[in-house]
Structure 1
Amino acid sequence: MNEIELSKAWYVLHTYSGYENKVKQNLESRATSMGMEDNILQVLIPEEQTYEEKNGETKVSTSKVFPGYVLVEMIMSDDAWYIVRNTPGVTGFVGSHGAGSKPSPLLPEEVDQILRSMGINPRKVNIDVEIGERVKIVTGAFAGMEGTITEIESEKGKVKALVEMFGRETNAELEYDQIAQIKD
């Protein structure tokens, strides 16, 4: 990892509720117009889809997971900090203790969990498994059990495995980080 990789982090911005999309748009255009694309990398509004069954039809709606908050991935510099905190609609950084102190970034685990819940950035785990191979399941509902790989979905970072439960084989869909190879 180079120095830039080490210094980029995710921060949480507090905004006026209902202005999250406007803040995202303002921040992205300010980053471009002020030549800060190398410091202000991504702006996200965590959202989730909800499905509601009404009169036999399924209605899909999108709602904000954290109303009044926007996530920004940036390399914290005096210029980037100034541009972000002075963007219209931004009321401040979460984790800033006032008096000009720079905010604390989110922990990598927190960012990972938020991004994964949005279907973005599934955890990258390098595992070299083959169909027919036995694996140990280390987390989730099948933790502690062993399974046999039946399908590999490398683009999604998932595998399907047959797991024996209650005397019969059950298909389980598992993410790479839920399994470990069994060493002979």
Structure 2
Amino acid sequence: MSIFYVTTAKWYVIYTYPNYEKKVRNMFSQLDITCFLPVHKVTRKWSDRKKTVEIPLFPNYIFVYADDKTKYQALNVYGVSRYVSSNGSPVTISENEIDIIKKMIVVPGMTVEQHIEAGDLVEITDGAFNGLKGIVFKKSSKSRFAVKIHGINQFVSIEVNLSSIRKYGSKL
């Protein structure tokens, strides 16, 4: 007589504290919770050196394969903020989408395309202006980054590569 177990486990998306993705992954590993943290290698440049580092492909997100019991256990790991949800229910990701991500992260030059539009509040993530916050706008089909000088109600702007910025707020 064979006994078949039907699993109710699915892939869920967890939102982590900033820069806690790897710590959460390590804690999940210690608790035998199946997870997936896609990472990619980037070269970071400091004033005195360059270094290739692995960073999460989707900052603040990690995928967890969980049933109801494991979902609750994963939520109690320090560094986990919440499950990403839609209409009050945790968002699930298909096995096929997880497999696609796994295949794509090994391709050289693969990047995540952010949905950044004119008017979005953004922060520059690398280079000489790293950490500078401002607004994205388009001019002559190029993306520009602007900082408002409030005292004189004027903007100064530079051309930016969209891979060097990230959203940090909603539109103005």
TM-score category by the smaller chain? 0.3 to 0.5
Larger Rg: 1
State the TM-score, normalized to the length of structure 2: 0.48
State the TM-score, normalized to the length of structure 1: 0.45
